[in-house]
């Protein structure tokens, strides 16, 4: 009878941490773990049917992503939404996405059909989560031809850090047509091989979202 090697404990624990991280991220983005509120580790571990050790490890991973704060005396809490964080991260994203787009300028026009298809779906989205996922997919497709793996990983981590803010943005359905129009302008620039114009349009797209969010948080 053929036997199969057992999965190493370290591999199992790594998978568990990643699974917990994804679950906790989903809870944070959905607001089930509220911004600014402490995390009740015992209650959460019971709810997720895990021990506190892998739960803490997953929370520490999310702290590195800027979504969780830890304190020796008070334990873990969900980071508050802040206009300062928006001002800091959004310019980084549009700068790095622009760099990724420029680095793939030769073949960027080949992205047009898929970008147009995703944007069409985005325009029809009526579900907040669906709209957010499609917008993320559109930006991922836009930068997908870059061969700079480290750059793409950095952009991906930054996008993860602002997912809560993008949820706030997408919740206002009146803003969706403007985002679709901005995407279309970038697509048209790519059709014409106007990389610099497309990069400027990309900055406009992110800057618009940044300014909207800052106003929603009561700042100019």
Residue-wise pLDDT tens digits, 8-25: 556 777 788 788 888 988
CA 137, 151, 24, 36 torsion: positive or negative? negative
Query: What tokens were used for 5?
Result: 């090697």
Same domain, residue pair 93 and 174: yes
Structure-model confidence comparison of residues 4 and 192, the more confident one: 192
71: confidence class by pLDDT, cuts 50, 70, 90: confident
Q: What is the pLDDT of residue 135?
A: 97
The per-residue pLDDT for range 165-212, each reduced to its tens digit, is 998 899 899 999 999 999 999 999 999 999 999 999 999 999 999 999
Write the burial class of residue 43 (CB in 10 Å: 0-12 exposed, 13-18 middle, 19+ buried).
exposed
User: Domain holding 161: CATH number?
Assistant: 1.20.120.530
Same domain, residue pair 162 and 128: yes
- Find the length of the chain: 220
Same domain, residue pair 130 and 106: yes
Rounded Cα distance, 102 and 92, in Å: 15
Domain boundary among 21, 46, 78: 78
Domain boundary among 57, 78, 99: 78
- Residue 41: pLDDT over 50: yes
Rounded Cα distance, 216 and 168, in Å: 9
- Residue 74: pLDDT over 60: yes
3: in domain: no
Predicted TM-score (pTM) of this structure: 0.79
2: in domain: no
Write the burial class of residue 145 (CB in 10 Å: 0-12 exposed, 13-18 middle, 19+ buried).
middle
- Residue 7: pLDDT over 50: no
153: in domain: yes
Collapse the DSSP code of 59 into the 3-class scheme (helix H, G, I; strand E, B; otherwise coil) and give the result.
helix
How many independent structural domains does the chain possess?
A: 2
Same domain, residue pair 157 and 121: yes
Same domain, residue pair 71 and 97: no
CB atoms within 10 A of CB 8: 9
User: What is the greatest pairwise CA distance in the chain?
Assistant: 70
Same domain, residue pair 144 and 170: yes
Q: Where in the sequence is the domain holding 66, given as residue range(s)?
A: 9-78
């Amino acid at each position: 009878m053929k036997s199969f090697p057992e999965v190493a404990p370290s591999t199992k624990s790594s998978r568990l941490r990643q699974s917990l991280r994804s679950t906790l991220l989903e809870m944070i983005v959905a607001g089930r773990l509220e911004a600014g509120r402490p995390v009740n580790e015992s209650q959460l571990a019971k709810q997720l049917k895990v021990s506190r050790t892998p739960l803490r490890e997953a929370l520490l991973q999310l702290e590195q992503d800027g979504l969780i704060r830890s304190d020796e005396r008070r334990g873990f809490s969900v980071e508050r939404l802040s206009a300062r964080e928006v001002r800091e991260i959004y310019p980084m994203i549009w700068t790095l996405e622009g760099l990724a787009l420029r680095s793939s300028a030769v073949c960027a026009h080949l992205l047009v059909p898929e970008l147009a298809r995703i944007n069409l779906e985005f325009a029809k989205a009526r579900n907040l989560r669906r709209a957010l996922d499609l917008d993320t997919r559109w930006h991922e497709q836009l930068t997908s031809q870059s061969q700079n793996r480290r750059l793409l990983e950095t952009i991906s981590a930054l996008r993860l850090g602002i997912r809560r803010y993008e949820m706030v943005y997408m919740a206002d359905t009146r803003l969706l047509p403007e985002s679709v129009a901005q995407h279309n302008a970038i697509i048209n620039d790519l059709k014409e091989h106007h990389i610099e114009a497309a990069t400027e349009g990309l900055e406009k797209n992110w800057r618009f979202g940044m300014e909207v969010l800052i106003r929603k948080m009561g700042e100019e």
